[in-house]
Amino acid sequence: MVNYIEKGDALIIIHSKFGFVRAWARQDYEPLAGGSASFGVNVNSDSMPGITEMTVNTNQWDVYKIDDPALLQLLLNEYVPLWVSR
């Protein structure tokens, strides 16, 4: 999970029902104790036809910046067989 998102940042958001979704932040977001757990994104996903923008709740969606090393590890674990990558 990211610490700070700036408007326009490229993101990958992950949900158990929709899977991996490409998104772009529509607003700045910083998770703070007692602060808002939601922020607006533009999306591009085959699993969500007809939806181009939405507000995500970070309690239900995992949010990663596109260049986050933790995202790469997550994708490797999800899609690349262990015997191929290690």
What digits encode the pLDDT tens for the residues 16-47? 888 889 999 999 998 877 777 889 999 987 77
pTM over 0.85: no
Q: In this structure, what token pair is assigned to residue 30?
A: 């910083």
As to burial, measured by CB atoms within 10 angstroms (0-12 exposed, 13-18 middle, 19+ buried), residue 38 is middle
Q: Is the pLDDT of residue 52 over 60?
A: yes
- Check residue 85 and give its pLDDT: 60
Grade residue 66 by pLDDT with cuts at 50, 70 and 90. very high
Report the mean per-residue pLDDT for the chain: 86
Q: In this structure, what token pair is assigned to residue 3?
A: 């610490």
Which residues does residue 12 pair with via DSSP β-bridges, in sequence order? 22, 64
- Check residue 1 and give its pLDDT: 61
Query: What is the Cα–Cα distance from 36 to 78, expressed in whole angstroms?
Result: 30
Domains and CATH numbers, the chain: 10-85 (2.30.30)
State which amino acid sits at residue 12. I
Q: How far is CA 15 from CA 34, 72, 86, in A?
A: 23, 16, 27
